[in-house]
Amino acid sequence: MVGHSEGMREIFSTITRVAPTRATVLLCGESGVGKDMIARAIHHHSPRADRPFVKINCTALPENLMESELFGYEKGAFTGANTSKPGKFEQADTGTVFLDEIGDVPASVQVKLLRILQEREFERLGSNKVKHIDVRVLAATNVDLRAALEQGTFREDLYYRLNVLPINIPPLRERKEDIPYLAGFFVKKLGKDLGSPVQSISDAAMQRLLGYHWPGNVRELENVLERSMVLANGAILEAGDVKLDTAPAARFTVADNFLPEGTTLDQYEQSIIREALRRANGNKSQAARMLGLTRNALRYRLSQMGLES
């Protein structure tokens, strides 16, 4: 992992201190800042390194499948359950579970996670036999869970259990000192993977990388360098070779974007939510991401609007 900024060096030292323990860690940060990478680093520097690391993407699972995926089920638990099957937690026994996008976990599953964190026990669906497991839990979120707490879509007791050791990973635009080191690291790595002639980055090209705001963080930096290197011809990546995603975004100011004439804040918020759903083709998880909300927080607003089925 590359990082020379004060923020990242602090995170590295936290990783070194928490990795050997079984403490629950909550990784907070925008998409692309390195949450997955840090979760894996914690696991690999823990006494569980040679035990399973099981990642669960809470957004990817529809609510009705999530329970059976996480906790497993017994034969006959529901129509189509022809055999019994262990869940992800059982697969991770003696190892680490990484719950990604924890803010998207529905209320029914939040209760069961709380029980796992408190008692290290659960039951498979369709069974009343209590199972005990030994798992270390790591979780990640790219939205502010406190907002979900205030809206009542995320349980407070679960939040405090998860938030034992929070690690906040700053966005790349707040640690620009890391950009030259990350860029150098990716040029080397991608040069090999792509068979590209590019060996280094010119000063002018570096200035372009430093001037950009990186909404997609380290992941976007890696993608931009890959695209730029595929198209470049020389051994040195020049400013003109740098293919950024867009022009730097204009900063939002309330002065020129105040409420449209005759609209209330509620109406305006609702029209933005409708537009996000339209752009996401009705996909609530995607719409929630566009709005910087958890899926549950969006659901809550939709129910307030009388739109949640």
**Which stretches of the chain bind ligand ADP, using CB under 6 A?**
1-3, 29, 31-37, 182, 218-219, 222
Return the one option of ligand ADP, Mg ion, none that residue 106 interacts with (CB less than 5 to 8 A, by type).
Answer: none
DSSP per-residue letters across the chain: ----SHHHHHHHHHHHHHTTS---EEEE--TTSSHHHHHHHHHHTSTTTTS-EEEEETTTS-HHHHHHHHH-B-TTSSTT--S-B--HHHHTTTSEEEEETGGG--HHHHHHHHHHHHHSEE--BT----EE---EEEEEESS-HHHHHHTTSS-HHHHHHHTTEEEEPPPGGG-TTHHHHHHHHHHHHHHHHHT----EE-HHHHHHHHHS--TTHHHHHHHHHHHHHHH--SSEE-GGG---SSSPPPPP-TTTSPPPTT--HHHHHHHHHHHHHHHTTT-HHHHHHHHT--HHHHHHHHHHTT---
Return the one option of ligand ADP, Mg ion, none that residue 219 interacts with (CB less than 5 to 8 A, by type).
Answer: ligand ADP
Smallest gap, in angstroms, from Cβ of residue 34 to ligand ADP?
3
Between residues 56 and 182, which has the closer beta carbon with respect to ligand ADP? 182
Smallest gap, in angstroms, from Cβ of residue 61 to ligand ADP?
17
Return the one option of ligand ADP, Mg ion, none that residue 37 interacts with (CB less than 5 to 8 A, by type).
Answer: ligand ADP
Between residues 68 and 294, which has the closer beta carbon with respect to ligand ADP? 294
Smallest gap, in angstroms, from Cβ of residue 1 to ligand ADP?
4
**CB distance 17 to 165 below 8 Å:** no
Between residues 36 and 144, which has the closer beta carbon with respect to Mg ion? 36
Between residues 35 and 161, which has the closer beta carbon with respect to Mg ion? 35
288 CB burial (10 A radius; 0-12, 13-18, 19+): buried
Task: Tell me the residue number closest to ligand ADP, measured at CB.
Answer: 34
Between residues 2 and 236, which has the closer beta carbon with respect to ligand ADP? 2
Smallest gap, in angstroms, from Cβ of residue 77 to Mg ion?
31
Smallest gap, in angstroms, from Cβ of residue 98 to Mg ion?
9
Give φ, ψ of 24 to 5 degrees: -75, 135
Between residues 179 and 277, which has the closer beta carbon with respect to ligand ADP? 179
Smallest gap, in angstroms, from Cβ of residue 295 to Mg ion?
16
Least Cα distance to 24 among 79, 131, 102 occurs for 102
Between residues 218 and 293, which has the closer beta carbon with respect to ligand ADP? 218
Smallest gap, in angstroms, from Cβ of residue 199 to Mg ion?
30
Return the one option of Mg ion, ligand ADP, none that residue 161 interacts with (CB less than 5 to 8 A, by type).
Answer: none
Return the one option of ligand ADP, Mg ion, none that residue 2 interacts with (CB less than 5 to 8 A, by type).
Answer: ligand ADP
Return the one option of ligand ADP, Mg ion, none that residue 23 interacts with (CB less than 5 to 8 A, by type).
Answer: none
Between residues 68 and 228, which has the closer beta carbon with respect to ligand ADP? 228
Interface positions with Mg ion (CB under 5 A): 35-36
Q: Which two tokens stand for residue 197?
A: 């002639």
Cα–Cα distance measured from residue 278 to residue 282, given in angstroms and rounded to the nearest whole number: 6
Smallest gap, in angstroms, from Cβ of residue 156 to ligand ADP?
25
Cα–Cα distance measured from residue 60 to residue 63, given in angstroms and rounded to the nearest whole number: 9
Return the one option of ligand ADP, Mg ion, none that residue 111 interacts with (CB less than 5 to 8 A, by type).
Answer: none
Return the one option of Mg ion, ligand ADP, none that residue 202 interacts with (CB less than 5 to 8 A, by type).
Answer: none
